[in-house]
A and B are shown apart, each in its own frame.
Chain A
Amino acid sequence: MNKQMVWAIAEKDIRGITKNSQVWIGMILLPVLFAVLVPIGFILVIKYMPSLSPEMEQMVNKIISGIGNEEMKQELMSLPSMTHQMIFVVVNYLLGSIFLMIPCLNAMMIALNSFVGEKERGTLETLLFSPVTLKELFVGKILSAFIPAMGISLLSFLLFGTITTILTYPMFDEFIFPNSNWLVMIFWLIPIITIFTILVNILVSARAKGFQEAQQIGGIVVLPIIGLFIGQATGLLIISPVMLFAIGAVLLIANAGILKLITKYNDRNMLFTKQI
């Protein structure tokens, strides 16, 4: 594998992101929404308008009862007030799960565009006519989605942390963020889920003829995250470090499987014929 070729492709595509409004608007919008507006909104509402959130209280009770780890449960129960408990749960459980939307949606949008974009511009032919091997081409495409998607996730994590700390430290007199959920997420699950999303969507992108078609199929990846969010809200599936680690491990194995699939079914002939 020639590194210079791989980087040439990755670099070209990363630069190209700034020229694709559909992609970069998402890259800004998602962090603003899930790392800034939503946490500020939740925390402020709970803090200053507790009467507005009786359902929230119900939900928080469900979550607390759903937490398997006794130590964690005790710690939560010992918080000085219901408001404290609610904020802690929202920051570390509810928003934690929905935060996964940032890496997933970003990785999806970039990866979907990877091959479809080349097809729509008529440049895939040129790439396939060059001495680049398919492996180099795919690795370049994967990097071009992983670097920006992971970068945005890390930035969002810092943004989220700063904002919640500013809002919660005066109340709690301690750092409630990041708890172990967050640490497992950012250093284990998010990199793996980002690669998973990229691989699935690159596979779709290589096969689909247009962006619309690709989006419809590739978008399915987001559904489990919404499921995870609903799982928190209903108390049915409460995230814990062990569980997040397990999800990551399963996805890691899935990644290996998809990689095999990609190398097996994407030969040059197929890619070339699918573009026309």
Chain B
Amino acid sequence: MPKMESMCYTNFEVMNVQDRGRITVSVPFIESENVSKDFNGQRVLQNVSFSIDEGEVVGLLGPNGSGKTTMIRLLNGVINPSSGKMRVGDYNPEKNADDIRSMSGILTDGAGLYQEMTGLENLVFFSKLYKAYDLKRIKLLLEEFGLAEAQYKNVGKYSTGMKRRLGMIKAILHKPKLLFLDEPTNGLDPEGIQMVLKYIKALNQQEGTTVLLCSHILHQLEHVCSRYLFLQQGQIIESGTLKELEKKRVNIIELKVETGLPVSAGEFGFPAAAAGENVYRFTLPDRSDITPLIQRIAAKAPVYHVEIENRDLESLYFQIRGGKNE
């Protein structure tokens, strides 16, 4: 696990979420306006518009091939849009992309490291490209990401998780204001996913780093992202915070209740089904129905666990995608 304390390297002013909430008139940090991109006549992105505030962690979610990576490339100015306008900080990716790339860090899907060089050699090289060569910091980060021992080994011998962690270090070497993460958890085991996501969250909270995170794997993302953009076939089909999406999209509540004794679930007045030993799934029209239901169940049997099942990111995602297809 990375040690989070050592990340307070600068006396950067940490803005917390509440503070930001009070600022009513603010210019977004990143803006995309009706951006479209064609490859050989094929439309890959279609009128993509969104904005991201400074200090946000935004998840750009969508299935493979939906255009997430293309969006990151456009924002970094390594490819140009077919139409539309973009802005990152004070810069236009079509004109001053070098400035954008200087202030941002990126973790690409393939990590893009030199296999025949050691982990340390890779980091020293990239730190020079980012004008941020600092051996002490490199060593510290290697330590934090659990790669201290592997630093003298060739990256070709690293596991996927180790490569991803090295890629993360590469992305943050120069303390970027903005972080682009393309599939940061792809190919990682649950422990690896947790480690990477925890680090992203800590970085955001302590340094105020703005993060755009692309992923088709939603596992655990709700703990990290403050807002989501759903991309499908090159179009943004939905966006918002988890709460907003829930309000908009969830009109029934699927409540899972675990009790200490068998009960006859039908007698509480809501559609219900058994979902395991002494576990029942109730379908409620509204969240205000939860309390009375639990009270009634509790009168008959001890209640051990109550959970709304269809409010997590994954069920929302499938609902949004399903809704679009209908």
Question: Given A8-B128, A19-B116, A269-B79, A129–B110 Cβ distance below 8 Å?
Answer: no
Q: In the assembled complex, how far is the CB of residue A7 from the closest CB belonging to chain B, in whole angstroms? A: 8
Decide yes or no whether A251 CB sits under 8 A from chain B. Answer: no
* Contact bitstring B80-108, A, C-beta under 8 A = 1, else 0: 10000000000000000111011000101
Name, among A8, A131, A133, the residue most crowded by chain B CB atoms within 10 Å (CB to CB).
A131
**Is the beta-carbon distance between A272 and B73 smaller than 8 angstroms?**
yes
Question: Given A19-B116, A123-B112, A268-B97, A8–B129 Cβ distance below 8 Å?
Answer: yes
CA distance A122 to B98 in the complex (A): 21
Please name all residues of chain B whose beta carbon is closer than 8 Å to the beta carbon of A131 when the two chains form the complex: 98-99, 101-102, 129-131
**Shortest 7 CB-CB distances between A and B: which pairs?**
A126-B112, A8-B128, A131-B102, A131-B101, A130-B129, A272-B78, A19-B116
CA distance A79 to B73 in the complex (A): 70
Which chain B residues (114-144) contact chain A, with CB distance < 8 Å?
114-117, 125-126, 128-131, 133
Decide yes or no whether A40 CB sits under 8 A from chain B. Answer: no
Where the two chains meet, the residues of B that have a C-beta atom closer than 8 Å to any C-beta of A are 73, 76-80, 97-99, 101-102, 106, 108, 110, 112-117, 125-126, 128-131, 133, 170
Between A and B, 29 residue pairs with Cβ closer than 8 Å are A5-B128, A5-B129, A5-B131, A7-B128, A8-B125, A12-B125, A16-B114, A16-B116, A121-B114, A121-B115, A122-B110, A123-B114, A126-B108, A126-B113, A127-B129, A129-B112, A130-B126, A130-B129, A130-B130, A131-B98, A131-B99, A131-B129, A131-B131, A132-B129, A268-B77, A268-B78, A269-B78, A269-B80, A272-B78
**Is the beta-carbon distance between A129 and B101 smaller than 8 angstroms?**
yes
**Is the beta-carbon distance between A125 and B133 smaller than 8 angstroms?**
no
Interface residue tally for chain A (C-beta within 8 Å)? 25
Decide yes or no whether A81 CB sits under 8 A from chain B. Answer: no
Decide yes or no whether A4 CB sits under 8 A from chain B. Answer: yes
**Is the beta-carbon distance between B108 and A125 smaller than 8 angstroms?**
yes
| A-B CB pair tally, cutoff 8 Å | 65
* Contact bitstring A125-144, B, C-beta under 8 A = 1, else 0: 11111111100000000000
Partner of A4 from B97, B101, B126, B131 at Cβ < 8 Å: B131
Please name all residues of chain A whose beta carbon is closer than 8 Å to the beta carbon of B114 when the two chains form the complex: 12, 16, 121, 123
Do most interface residues of chain A lie in helix, strand or loop, or is the interface mixed?
helix
Please name all residues of chain A whose beta carbon is closer than 8 Å to the beta carbon of B110 when the two chains form the complex: 122, 125
CA distance A129 to B78 in the complex (A): 7
Decide yes or no whether A2 CB sits under 8 A from chain B. Answer: yes
Please name all residues of chain A whose beta carbon is closer than 8 Å to the beta carbon of B126 when the two chains form the complex: 126, 130
Please name all residues of chain B whose beta carbon is closer than 8 Å to the beta carbon of A121 when the two chains form the complex: 114-115
CA distance A123 to B108 in the complex (A): 10
